[in-house]
Amino acid sequence: MPYVKIEVTREGVTREQKQQLIAGITHLITDVLDKDPSLTHVVIQEIELDDWGFAGEQVSVLREKGITAQKNK
């Protein structure tokens, strides 16, 4: 009976990326924990940039300053 919640800033996540997350996490959990996939639910929640704070600053403010969360920067 796993339930997974993913919270991520709303910055253009596509339907395909969501499907990749849902499929990948379900596969990982059912594989590692030997769980029935039909008992595994994954919920994605996108958060507005004004509503996520990191290190005391709104992400919207960080983005205006050119600070991203990407790994390839």
Give the catalytic positions in this structure: 2
Report if residue 65 touches its own copies, rule: CB under 8 A. Answer: no
Report if residue 52 touches its own copies, rule: CB under 8 A. Answer: yes
Closest by alpha carbon to 43, among 2, 13, 4?
A: 4
Q: How far is CA 26 from CA 4, 15, 18, in A?
A: 9, 16, 12
Report if residue 70 touches its own copies, rule: CB under 8 A. Answer: yes
Report if residue 55 touches its own copies, rule: CB under 8 A. Answer: yes
Site string for its own copies, 9-28 (x = CB under 8 A): x---x-x-xxxxxxxxxxxx
Report if residue 58 touches its own copies, rule: CB under 8 A. Answer: yes
Closest by alpha carbon to 28, among 12, 16, 40?
A: 40
Site of tokens 């991520």:
8
Q: Specify whether the CB–CB gap between 58 and 21 falls below 8 A.
A: no
Binding-site ranges for its own copies (CB under 8 A):
1-9, 13, 15, 17-30, 32-47, 50-61, 69-73
